[in-house]
Amino acid sequence: MAEGRAGLRALLRLGAAALAACLATWAGAAPGQAPQAAAARDDMGPRVLACTACHGEQGRATPEGYFPRIAGKPAGYLYNQLLNFREGRRSYPQMAWLLEHLTDAYLQEMAEHFAALQLPYAPPPASQAPPAVLERGRRLVREGDAARGLPACVRCHGDALTGVSPWLPGLLGLSRDYVAGQLGAWQTGQRHAQAPDCMADIARRLEPQDVGAIAAWLAAQPVPAGGVPAAGLAARLPLRCGGVPEAGSATPDGAVPEGGQ
């Protein structure tokens, strides 16, 4: 049985290498040549078809909602996530195998390609959550909970929740299951970001009911202004976050230090 699993793993790794070679060929590069060497000669679209197989046409996401939308997300955020998958901080073997042969520069190109795709969002599905659950989610997202050291989601992800360029993602246009799943992955240590991992710190302060409420409320909100990320934050981040340059420091309980506004 173990030998069978090892064989399947080897087969999948070979498939990932073949797909990376295929991407290089689409880019007009010879086998073994760095994919970015041909980037100036070809459009990026054909070279990221492997991404759209899961993330939907042009990265819009699929109706199932398990694979998130990547079109229009800030380039810095997308780049950090590609690095996280490649380097094992996010645990999803298919992504790791796909990216392991790609350089930092090529990952940056991929991120910039999808960030530039400003495409319409579908209306959110009608929520089946009770009003009390939605209100709990709204309060946590927009106000946080100072007693538990929980900053409001809008403090980092922007008042419109469409993200902040270039590092912070929007939280709207994602399915309830996806949002709940990612918060749960941070709580259990299955998902990591560059240290200091501020989202893991925040997620571990959430009760199970909080996770469900936040996911339900976010999934029920329409995406304003085409989902375009804000150009900047109105105040410093409440926590230091790896991968976000000059994010500022915070006290251990998550509060912004005096003068940090």
The single-letter DSSP state of residue 159 is: T
CA 27 – CA 45 distance, rounded (Å): 10
DSSP class of residue 39 equals G
- The predicted pLDDT at position 79 comes to 97
Task: State whether 96 and 47 are in the same domain.
Answer: yes
CATH number at residue 152: 1.10.760.10
Tell whether 101 and 136 lie within a shared domain.
Answer: no
pTM: 0.78
Residues 136 and 161 in one domain: yes
Inside any domain, residue 95 = yes
**141 and 170, same domain (yes or no):** yes
Q: How many helices (H) and strands (E) does the chain have?
A: 10, 2
Same domain, yes or no: 108 and 164: no
Query: What domain range includes position 202?
Result: 131-227
Do both 151 and 194 map to the same domain?
A: yes
Nearest Cα residue to 229 out of 182, 151, 160:
160
**Looking at residue 63, what is its pLDDT?**
75
Note whether residue 261 is domain-resident: no
Overall number of domains in the chain:
2
Question: Is residue 183 in a domain?
Answer: yes
Residue 101: other Cβ atoms inside 10 A: 16
Distance CA 65, CA 63 (A): 5
The kind and range of the H/E element at 199 are helix 198-203
> Does 232 reside within a domain?
no
Question: What's phi and psi for 220, nearest 5 deg?
Answer: -90, -5
Task: Say how many C-beta atoms besides its own lie within 10 A of residue 1's C-beta.
Answer: 5
Residues 184 and 107 in one domain: no
For residue 65, the model assigns a pLDDT of: 79
Instruction: Provide the token pair at 104.
Output: 């930092």
| 104 and 154 together in one domain | no
Task: Tell me: do 73 and 139 sit in the same domain.
Answer: no
Name the E strands within 49-107. none
pLDDT per residue over 208-250, tens digit each?
999 999 999 999 999 998 899 999 988 899 999 998 986 443 3
Residue 207 structure tokens: 């009760």
Q: Which residues of the chain have pLDDT under 50?
A: 1-41, 247-261
Cα separation, 167 vs 130, whole angstroms? 33
On whether both 108 and 136 belong to a single domain, the answer is no
Each residue of 133-160: pLDDT tens digit?
A: 999 999 999 999 999 999 999 999 999 9
